[in-house]
Amino acid sequence: MTAFLRAPLCPAGHLPLKGGDWLSFLLSQIFNVARLATRSELPISPLEGEMSGRTEGGATEREPRRLAAIFLSALIGLILAAPASAAKIDDQFRAWLQNDLWPEAKAKDISEKTFDAAFDDVKPNLELPDLVMPGKKATTPQKQHQAEFGSPGAYFAEKTVRAVTAGGRTREAANARTLAAIEKRYGVPGEVLLAIWGRETGFGAAKMPYDAFEVLGTKAFMSTRKEFFRTELLAALEIVQRGLAPVGAMKSSWAGALGQPQFMPTSFLKHAVDFDGDGRADIWNSVPDTLASIANYLVHYGWVKGRGWGFEVTVPESVSCSLEGPDQGKRISEWVAMGIKRVGGKAFPASELKKEGFLLMPAGRSGPAFIVTPNFYVLKEYNTSDLYALFIGHGADRIANGDSNFSGSWGAVGGLHRSDIAALQRALEAKGYDVGSADGLPGFKTRRSIGKWQAKNGQAATCFPDADLVATLK
């Protein structure tokens, strides 16, 4: 649902505190779980496009008590395991900084002064997710197996959407000249930028509680994706070395994403721009810089000027839901000839009919359907989830045209565990179907493969996993 809810609710490799008070520690963690799980108004979602390990879907972890129970069992497991010493990890981290990271940083023209300032007093943060203790092998976190896959409709909770659309309209009025100037230069509509800004950090209201060097340093030293974070850590050092931001300004989310647009450091170096003219791209404090940097990011990933993101449609039974996906595009006029119509009796704009469009059915036959443009897939470069990109497109439409919901309604198709969906995916893979990866999240490749299997086996194609399918195929 929101990245906060995917935040480190159950640190995979938590270490006992040195001589700590277990009960108060435990209670504080359970409180944290409850707090995180109920905090949904100001989501921070790091760039999933940049974070290639994070994939499509809408897994939700909504139940604080259940999470607390999972955490408790994980914690008991850790108490029983042989505890490593946090102090020893700190020493290993310091040695790694000196002997491993520093030589590479030096070779990339990072000065000793910058390096020392960045890591002054920095220790590994053992509460971050997806850590692997030095000398240990990575294991799949328990929560990934147990997480419930929520109905895609849950992603579009009216309260969440309205926080973005109401806030977006207020800021659209307040920043009208800036948005017009950005649209003129980059060709990206202001409402799209506002929707991303609102979705990522609640228009900059979300706190950036972490030191980027602590997060990136910890993850480069001891996470499941060390190389990815090492590259980002070196980019963060480059930001400081080049004077683009002072060390003290390098505040990030739990995933190391920076500032109001939630750029990873390599994205900052590639896409951040100065739009208020003070000579510095300040994505932490400047609204014009934040909005223009988001626009520049989208342009770099191919935003097509003059086209929107997509249209809600109705799809007749004669059109298979397995025609979904970015690799099965047709001219919009061809989709229309097959019987696909826009909702609300509207015609497609004449300028769109000759252009390519793609079928999108995020909940298969159990939810709204869309014909999307290539810009939809540019939005997915910001965060590689169909639901995220749809949230941005839908939110942008509502900022521009007023609040009205989808015409189609989302079915109650959630409730499976990710492990069940992953088992279904492996079963389909074994039969030769392409599901993308068996990650427990039903992306478009999984959805359409389900539809193809259903059609081949004489069933009505729903293009979405359900308990019967899991039981039949698993």
Residues that bind Ca ion (CB under 5 A): 274, 276, 278, 280, 282, 286, 289
**Smallest gap, in angstroms, from Cβ of residue 463 to Ca ion?**
46
Q: What is the DSSP letter of 263?
A: B
Instruction: Please answer whether residues 204 and 287 qualify as being in contact, where contact means their C-beta atoms are separated by less than 8 angstroms.
Output: yes
SS3 59: strand
Kindly state the tokens that stand for 90. Answer: 């700190």
Give the span between the Cα atoms of 157 and 418, in whole angstroms.
Answer: 21
Distance in Å, CB of 208 to Ca ion, minimum: 18
Would you say 273 or 399 has its CB closer to Ca ion?
273
Please count the other Cβ atoms lying within 10 Å of the Cβ belonging to residue 135.
8
Work out how close the CB of 273 gets to Ca ion at its nearest, in angstroms, rounded to a whole number: 8
CB of 169 to Ca ion, least distance (A): 25
Shortest CA distance to 190 belongs to which of 176, 200, 201?
Answer: 176
Identity of the residue, 123 or 280, whose beta carbon is nearer to Ca ion in the bound complex: 280
State which residue has the least CB distance to Ca ion: 274
274-280, Cβ contacts within 8 angstroms, sequence gap of 24 or more: 275/178, 275/181, 275/182, 280/244, 280/245
Alpha-carbon span 26 to 46, nearest angstrom: 28
Cβ contacts of 405 within 8 Å, gap of 6 or more: 156, 158
DSSP 345: G
Identity of the residue, 241 or 293, whose beta carbon is nearer to Ca ion in the bound complex:
293
Coil, strand or helix at 367? coil
Residue 285 beta carbon to Ca ion: minimum distance, rounded to whole angstroms: 9
CB of 289 to Ca ion, least distance (A): 4
* Residue 297 vs 348, nearer CB to Ca ion: 297
CB atoms within 10 A of CB 354: 9
Instruction: Choose between 283 and 413: whose C-beta lies nearer to Ca ion.
Output: 283
CA-nearest of 196, 323, 314 to 263 is: 196
- Our CB check for Ca ion shows the closer of 58 and 259 to be 259
Could you tell me which residues come within 8 angstroms of residue 33 by beta carbon, excluding any fewer than 6 positions away? 9, 10, 64, 67, 68, 71
**Least Å from the CB of residue 287 to Ca ion:** 10
**277 vs 316 by CB, closer to Ca ion:** 277
Task: For the CB of residue 279, give the shortest distance to Ca ion in the complex, in Å.
Answer: 7
- Residue closer to Ca ion, measured from CB, 225 or 280: 280
Element (H, E) at 191: helix 190-201
**CA-to-CA distance for 94 and 115, rounded, in angstroms?**
12
Q: Which one, 19 or 279, has the nearer CB to Ca ion?
A: 279
Of the two residues 289 and 466, which places its CB atom closer to Ca ion in the complex? 289
Closest CA to 382 of 280, 469, 262, 289: 262
Q: Where are the beta strands (DSSP E) in 90-217?
A: 148-149, 210-211
- CA distance to 160, 273, 294, 372, per residue, from 379 (Å): 19, 19, 10, 11
DSSP 228: H
Residue closer to Ca ion by CB (options 75, 273) is 273
Smallest gap from Cβ 237 to Ca ion, in A, equals 21
